[in-house]
Structure 1
């Protein structure tokens, strides 16, 4: 299920109008409508606000939105990763990969000229897109929440 549909269903289950929910989290109703209709992506910060109003676990909303994959985390995994490794795995930036030496496409290694050309094309294609990459603070918060959640789950077992 798309995150926007999920939010809409939870909002309706709580008998909230679009305006009421938007007002409760200091967001315009039109922006929230765009999220519910899949035209915008909800940031982790916004999902945290929504989790409180909709009585949904924050981590569950992050998973529904595609920010994290909770079922894949276990204590050894999260202990192994430092925050930078976590960022690269959960929020990969194609530009970082294209700047490295070991980049393949269709099982063929791309040389520097190919990688630079691809970067130019990607920049041209994405110039008009909204910048929505999570901030360092948002990534660290996600990392800490996952680490804390993993510890709680493992302590229950």
Structure 2
């Protein structure tokens, strides 16, 4: 199944490469292919048509990018498989750490913003009650010295929990 690309956007990326190299359309055409002319480059840059695969590869090489990125404009496509995997892994780690932080170190503000019911002594709080609870808590604790753990401390504890879970699975 052939993928369609926004020819005008591809053209803008080709133009950006040409301009970054400081080349005229004629000079750029000669770097790509002996048969290419400035009109050919103009057609690419204005989105009238796409270069063939061989020319796309040469343009991408000149721009020090992947052909996939040249066509899609998606920065993820300009990463190697290893870089993509590292990126995904870092995103998953960040998400899991944020979830850990939210569950193990909840902030009253976040807790009160969660949709759903919140009860105190079996009394369901409405939005005004939640605001009152927050204001009372701030009046009681607002001036105290902050002792919330740093992100590094939370990350270390999270890693310790993951290590402990891994050890339990091995046994």
Smaller-chain TM-score range? 0.3 to 0.5
TM-score, with length taken from structure 1: 0.42
* Higher normalized contact order (CA 8 Å, seq sep 6+, divided by chain length): 1
Query: What TM-score do the two structures reach when normalised by structure 2?
Result: 0.39
Q: Which has the larger radius of gyration?
A: 2
